[in-house]
Amino acid sequence: MKRSATVLLTALAPISWGTTYAVTTEFLPADRPLFTGLLRALPAGLLLLALGRVLPRGVWWGKAAILGALNIGAFFPLLFLAAYRLPGGTAAVVSSAGPLFVVGLSALLLGQRPTARTLLAGIVAVFGVSLVVLKAAGALDGLGVLAAIASTASMSAGTVLTRKWGSPEGVGPLALTGWQLTAGGLLIAPLAFLVEGAPPALDGRAIGGYLYLALGNTAVSYWLWFRGIGRLGATRVTFLGPLSPLTAAVVGWAALGQSLTPLQLTGMVLAFGATVAGQLWAGRPAAPRPPHTVRKPLRETASG
């Protein structure tokens, strides 16, 4: 029962991420992927740092920077770049391949051998999502395709390393999430101002959209995601990823007046079934990694 509750709470993260596209297109300035990634990451990271009141120590400065670069600093800009350059739901189809990336990386980095059933669930999830979001289109933009693949690979690598490294003694998911969001936001900041120039003028709708992205869509959602990785394992958690494009399709139907065809509904059933199967077939999560041994407990340090 406790594990089921953890799965359900973790699932709220990709469900929230499924609203990102609608919020971006309906509330935010156009063609600002770096600025949007910055405002999504850095305020959320600073907030969680203030709440956690713990800073990295020793090797965790480097580990937090690596995780922040993979999960946030590279992932956010690449994700938005792919969304701007690819038609239909191509980027969503690529992102739904995340479980397959994680299965492969888990075999390499964690020594977890994939099962045939796990691979099958991942393939069915990609196929189901493609039926939901992929629309007929002309030639695909090469840069957009590369950005979509790179964003999925980046987030998948960060997910597996998060599981591999665990967290230092006395540090919970809240502080660990704050470290990564802050590191990723600081990585994006100079690129945003160098490439996109001065920030755009923001009206009330844009401010509301950015507040939602920074708080519910990022601070809370990423905390739930990394908490889930620690408790359930990387493979089991990443099989919740297809809930994101499925949510995007539902939001488009309910809020933006986009119709859903019988083929799309079939794809939803397949993708959701693969998500459930991934939770059942990924196997029991490995025993929690022992916390890293340190000579003295971490001191709580105010971030402000």
Tell me what pLDDT residue 211 has: 96
Residues 153-176 have pLDDT tens digits of 999 999 999 989 999 988 999 999
Q: What is the pLDDT of residues 99-130, one digit of tens each?
A: 888 888 988 888 888 788 888 888 888 888 78
DSSP letters spanning the chain? -HHHHHHHHHHHHHHHHTTHHHHHHHHS-TT-HHHHHHHHHHHHHHHHHHHH-----TTHHHHHHHHHIIIIITHHHHHHHHHHHS-TTHHHHHHTTHHHHHHHHHHHHT--PPPHHHHHHHHHHHHHHHHHH----SSPPHHHHHHHHHHHHHHHHHHHHHHHH--BTT--HHHHHHHHHHHHHHHHHHHHHHHH-SPPP--HHHHHHHHHHHIIIIIIHHHHHHHHHHHH-HHHHHTTTTHHHHHHHHHHHHHS-----HHHHHHHHHHHHHHHHHHHHS-SPPPPPPPBP-SSPPPP----
Inter-CA distances, 207 with 24, 40, 81, 190, Å? 12, 11, 21, 21
Q: Is the pLDDT of residue 298 over 60?
A: no
Q: What is the structure's pLDDT at 285? A: 45
What is the reported pLDDT for 68? Answer: 96
If you compute the radius of gyration of the chain from its CA atoms, what whole number of angstroms results?
19
d(CA 125, CA 23): 25
pLDDT in tens, 38-69: 999 999 999 999 999 999 999 999 999 999 99
290: nearest Cα among 171, 167, 174, 180: 167
Higher pLDDT, 276 or 190: 190
